[in-house]
Amino acid sequence: MRLFLAVAVLMLAFVAYTEAQEETIEQKFTEFGERVTQVGQDLAEKAKTAFENINNSEFAVTSRNWFSEQIEKLKTMFQDNSQ
């Protein structure tokens, strides 16, 4: 009888221990998921900021303006030649 009681107590202790471990592992996975999400959001924000900085740089603005002028010149030239 004592052996069965000792085994039952050990089983209860083991179950309690594994449940406590599972919660810890579950919490670790949750924290890891939150960290990955935060890193992804930070990376997206940095990429967005970098793209905006490049898009608004002086080189980009002058290049767009130059291409727009060249396209307008070509349109004008083709319109003048077609008439």
Tell me what pLDDT residue 1 has: 61
Mention every residue, 6+ apart, whose C-beta is less than 8 A from residue 60. Answer: 54
The predicted-structure confidence for 9-42, as pLDDT tens digits, reads as follows: 877 787 777 776 666 777 878 888 899 999 999 9
pTM, rounded to two decimals? 0.53
Domain extents in the chain: 12-42, 53-83
Going 56 to 60 to 65 to 68, the CA torsion angle's sign is negative
Distances in Å between the alpha carbon of 66 and those of 9, 12, 54, 58? 83, 78, 17, 12
The predicted-structure confidence for 41-72, as pLDDT tens digits, reads as follows: 999 999 999 999 999 999 999 999 999 999 99
Mention every residue, 6+ apart, whose C-beta is less than 8 A from residue 54. Answer: 60
Q: How many CA atoms lie within 13 A of 50 on its CB side?
A: 6
